[in-house]
A and B are shown apart, each in its own frame.
Chain A
Amino acid sequence: MSKPKVAFYWCASCGGCEEAVVDLNEVVLDVVEAVDIVFWPVAMDFKVSDVAALADGELAAAFINGAIRTSEQAEMAELLRRKAGAVVAFGACAWLGGIPGLANLYSRESLLEFVYRESPSTVGDGVRPLEEFTAPEGTVRLPHFDEDVRTLDQVIDVDYYLPGCPPPPGLIAGAVMALLEGRLPEKGSVLAPDVALCSECPRADSKPEDLKIERFYRPYEIVADQETCLLAQGLVCLGPATRAGCGAVCVNANMPCTGCMGPTGRVVDQGAKAASAIASLIASHDEDEIATLAAQIVDPVGTFYRYSLPASLLHRRVGTDGSGNGKSTDATAPAGASTPGGAS
């Protein structure tokens, strides 16, 4: 009897999600035992034509990680959508846009200018790549670099979401097995617990009843106590506004949660909700002092929307979509980052 076929693919991502599959360790043997991996560019030599040759719906599941930034990524997502019974948005980038999604703070034009001309590390004559070039040997093409970063479900229909940067091995194994055994949750489900990280945090007991922050610290500014709630120590820990399921790995390494598991089910805009949760902890009634404390949070958009800008209500910075909308332009880029890559 033939085993169910699955595919793994990567779009705008770092490769960490692929590592996460490898991190399954010996569990990966159970997975390989149970399924036929017919497409996995990072690890196996199959071609796009092999995928195209499959019948529609022949794949039991396609696990797609990464956000969508190029025409090639969109085409591959659409191809896999046709071939797969279930599409799983794998990891924070596919679900919410992830770190690559922060590029939505800049226009396409300013990104290309910076990378190919202005960056101090750029060597060469400032030539930008052409999408099409005809040489005597023939015509070569590059994918189109889109106007903005999109989440996977802004490009194709998605069945399930696996959160995390990268998704924790336990959740991956659980999701794969659930799919194989036909224990399918409701379409659109996020395959992780729907509670906040604080509920599984080992330091939850040290979280004060009336938590107030008198000064915000960045992780390098203090040596954090290893037992106490990080928020109580003034670190911007997004545990209260982030989905559980990771086992609090960052907190266990004495680092605050940065929100990669995404929001819980009742939240629409992760950044707004996280900012709301943190702001209400400010220990002051004085307007000037509140403003001063809020300003201690360096790069609030990058902090609270670190993994979710393309999925947010605004989707991107106003006036940077190349349509001439709004009066804002790149000339007033986010504080401390007047050019892409120029952040401190």
Chain B
Amino acid sequence: MSEPTREDAFEPKIVAFFCNWCTYTAADLAGISRMQYAPNVRAIRLMCSGRVDPQFVLSALREGADGVLIGGCHPGDCHYQEGNYNARRRFELLRLMLRDLGIEDERVRLEWISASEGDRVQKVCNEMTEQIRALGPLRLGTVPKVDGERASPAPATELVGQVTS
């Protein structure tokens, strides 16, 4: 058997922002139903997809994610009436910006998944993992820093702390 190459060893890291009422519940359902899906997706529960600030997406990519998945309620089903529409509006503009910044469409994805669609969580997570595996790792250039160390301008924890304070 030959040594595994670097590409073989690549496991995509995907950060998922799931809304509390639909997609996170669906992910829970997938778990309860013992549906297997790619362990590459790390889910973060937010109250609403409308809470997904584009800064969260960029922070995730900067901190080492190869892709970001946003999951919310289907149109018309938002627990807060409008949140998922705002997610869609921001996502559409963010996607145009990411294209111009050299980031492939497949790396940032928005999906509507209702609380009963555990199988859809499974399908989307598997599909996205394979798409990003095919694209390869996202290698952002480093951000220069005075002391010469690689550093991001703001760790995600700091970002959240600032926004909620």
Contact = CB atoms under 8 A, between A and B. Distances in A.
Interface of A: 105, 148, 150, 153-157, 266-269, 271-273, 275-276, 278-282, 284-285, 287, 290-291, 294-295, 297, 299-301, 304-305, 311-321, 323, 325-328, 332, 334-335
B6 interface: no
Contacts of B135: 327
Nearest to A283: B89
A316 B153 contact: no
Contacts of A280: 86, 89-90
A300 B136 CA distance: 26
Given A266-B162, A269-B55, A272-B54, A318 B89 contact: no
Given A280-B90, A304-B97, A154 B144 contact: yes
Interface of B: 53-55, 57-59, 61-62, 75, 85-86, 88-90, 92-94, 96-97, 99-104, 135-136, 138-146, 152-154, 158-159, 162-163, 165
A300 B96 contact: yes
Given A300-B100, A328-B102, A313 B55 contact: yes
A275 B140 contact: no
B93 to A, nearest CB: 4
Of B62, B89, B136, B153, the most chain A CB neighbours within 10 A belong to: B89
Contacts of B142: 315
A304 to B, nearest CB: 7
A270 to B, nearest CB: 10
A272 B55 contact: yes
B143 A154 contact: yes
A319 B97 CA distance: 15
Contacts of A319: 102
Contacts of B96: 294-295, 297, 300
B89 A279 contact: yes
Given A272-B58, A279-B90, A314-B62, A321 B146 contact: no
A300 B97 contact: yes
Contacts of A148: 141, 144
8 contacts: A153-B146, A154-B144, A267-B55, A271-B97, A272-B55, A279-B94, A317-B100, A323-B139
Q: Which of B54, B99, B104 has the most CB of A within 10 A?
A: B54
Given A268-B59, A294-B93, A314-B62, A334 B100 contact: yes
A328 B57 CA distance: 19
A314 B75 contact: no
Contacts of B62: 313-314
Contact of B58 (A105, A155, A314): A314
Given A268-B159, A280-B89, A318 B55 contact: no
A278 B90 CA distance: 8
A301 B100 contact: yes
Contacts of B101: 105, 301, 314, 317-318
Nearest to A158: B146
A221 B19 CA distance: 39
Contacts of B158: 268
A267 B162 CA distance: 8
Contact of A326 (B138, B146, B162): B138
B151 to A, nearest CB: 10
Contact of A275 (B86, B93, B163): B93
A232 B153 CA distance: 34
Given A315-B143, A326-B102, 11 more contacts: A268-B162, A272-B57, A279-B86, A284-B89, A290-B89, A312-B58, A313-B55, A320-B141, A321-B141, A326-B139, A334-B100
A57 to B, nearest CB: 18
